[in-house]
Structure 1
Amino acid sequence: MQLIPVTHQAAVAGERAVEAFAGVVGCIGDAGFAQGALAQLNRWLPVSWWSVFRLHDDAPPDMPASGSYRAPDHTAESWHEYRTSLYRSDQTFLAAREQVQDQRQVLVHWHAHEIPRQHRERIYTRHGLRERLSIVCRARDEGLLAVNLYRHEELPRFSDEEIDLVGSAAGLLLSCVQRHLSLCGGAPTADTVLAGLTRRERDVCERMLKGWTYDGIAADLGVSPGTVKTYRDRAFDRLGIHHRNELFALASGRRA
């Protein structure tokens, strides 16, 4: 693991870099920001996946944006694995948390083989990810904001020169992401929150979000109220929550 303080912000240089970041800026505020911005970044630097994490001090994390480029997009599936359980034992951002101050940014570079086994197998090995390079800063409210850049095995490792390039552009990329989140709220939609659930678990949660009673959900789905509560409990376990109000908070982008 490398922890690299970003001590200076060089101007983005080179025609490809200027065009790429102009493209990223042009994606700000669009519904397709995650995919579009990643495609623009790939004009400058090859990246298979990217994701934006908000790592809160006193609540589960959320992922307001993610996407893939010329690779199968399993970012939502991987997020489900992470959000359901892995985040509780994740130490890969610990060093960054200890180092970042108000406006300071750091790069955190992890090779897959350095990631603890369970985390590595359920995300990195399963999806052929070679490494992750994260730009981390303090979030504007609390906790951390991390922009994660991933490479698959088909791509070469990030070189020292490429890591330096990312460091030189870290502030600009973070500003683009923060501006997009401020315009769009950065809140995950209910569809995103429920994406990792089974069909029945999702059916139950969708109706709970509409204010239905357990008896009403049971009648609509043709099952017993006890079965509805079983699906609810399974869904809550996957989502890492315990109460109905936490489900509403997740779906609305608030933190319970």
Structure 2
Amino acid sequence: MNAWALPLADAQPAWSRALPAVVQAVGAPDFDTRVLQALDEAALGVGSWSVYQVWRDRLPQLHLSGSLGVADTTRDCFAAYRDAGLYRRDSSFDAVRPGHAAVLRMHADEAPSHDHRQAIYLRHGVLERLSVVQRGDDGAVFAVNVYRHAHQGRFGDGELAGFAQLAPVLLAGVQRHLALRQPAPDLRAALKARCAALTERELDVCERLLRGWSFDGIAADLGLSVATAKTYRARAFARLGLHFKSELFAAFLPGGDCPPQG
């Protein structure tokens, strides 16, 4: 048997100290506070942060925000961004192509418009923003932003490099946390609403398929043979007018994504 000692925290780059904290905070009710504290302890010098989405055809949505060591005006900033329509003229994420992610840096002087700079950066003493941004294939933007305030000065080279290293885990952790926070859909009710003729066993099988179960797992859970479970699936699909599992996912899951297998 081989064994390797884990490196001591003091021997690791400062930014890496935030990695376990971000992972451990996923799903916690105080996720936003814990992540901001972790970023501070990782010597990134963050004063505030925000997580939001921007679409082409609807109002942007703020998911998380907070401040450390300064008055928390993050929600006021986002309200101005949304209510004044600043998001419609926000070109600061244009460098990120659909289907890709990137780290972006923006100084207050580089804000996409005078109104944007005045309402958010100058009014609230925000000096600089670092973002890890993912753009969907439909053009929607998902942004995790950290901010420096005027008294903190600009991000240094080491802090920029550290954030770039941390960014993929930070993005994934935030997205996973938000997914866990969403209430589970009432799949059985949705199936019955779509087709009242579905039997209880057909509902049992379809509900478990939507939750990512395999046929072996469904059969064991319901005390059926795998062949019988598949027969119930086939009958349910005929009633629903479906042919493939992908059609079931598209009809009943947010975004139409296949659930993780469990």
TM range (shorter): 0.5 to 0.7
Does the aligned pair in 2 maintain the 1:49–1:67 contact within 8 Å? yes
- In the TM superposition, what whole-angstrom CA distance separates every residue of 1:139-162 from its partner, at most 9, and x where no partner exists? 498612111110001112112332
Q: Distance in 2 between the 1:106 and 1:93 partners? A: 9
Q: Distance in 1 between matches of 2:170 and 2:137?
A: 15
Once the two structures are TM-superposed, the CA of residue 83 in structure 1 deviates from its matched residue by 0.9
Aligned with 1:37: secondary structure?
A: helix
| Matched ranges for 1:95-174 at <5 A | 95-96=95-96, 100-102=97-99, 104-115=100-111, 116-139=113-136, 143-174=140-171
Distance in 2 separating the partners of 1:58 and 1:107:
24
**TM-score, normalised to structure 1's length?**
0.62
Partner in structure 2 of residue 91 of structure 1: 91
For residues 62-81 of structure 1, give each alpha carbon's deviation from its aligned partner in whole angstroms, at most 9, with x where no partner exists.
11111111111001111110
Match status 1:175 vs 2:172:
yes
Matching residue of 2:80 = 81
Structure 1 contact 21–41 (Cα < 8 Å) conserved: no
Per the alignment, do residues 139 and 36 of structure 1 end up closer, same or farther by CA in structure 2, a change over 3 Å counting?
A: farther
Aligned CA-pair RMSD:
2.3
Q: Which amino acid aligns with 1:40?
A: A
Where does 1:166-205 land on structure 2 (aligned, <5 Å)? 166-185=163-182
Higher Rg of the two aligned structures: 2
Unpaired runs of at least 5, structure 1: 1-11, 187-253
Aligned residues: 172
Q: What stretches of structure 1 move > 3 A for 4+ residues in a row?
A: 15-19, 139-142
Contact map agreement 1:54 1:139 (CA 8 A) in 2: no
Q: Which has the higher contact order (CA 8 A, sep 6+)?
A: 1
State which of 7, 17, 20 in structure 2 corresponds to 1:19: 17
* SS across alignment from 1:95: coil
Distance (whole Å) between structure 1 residues aligned to residue 140 and residue 150 of structure 2: 31
Report the TM-score, using the length of structure 2 for normalisation: 0.60
Q: 1:39 is matched by which residue type in structure 2?
A: Q
* Shift in Å, 1:114: 1.6
> Which residue of 2 is the match for residue 207 of structure 1?
none
Equivalent AA in structure 2 for residue 29 of structure 1: G
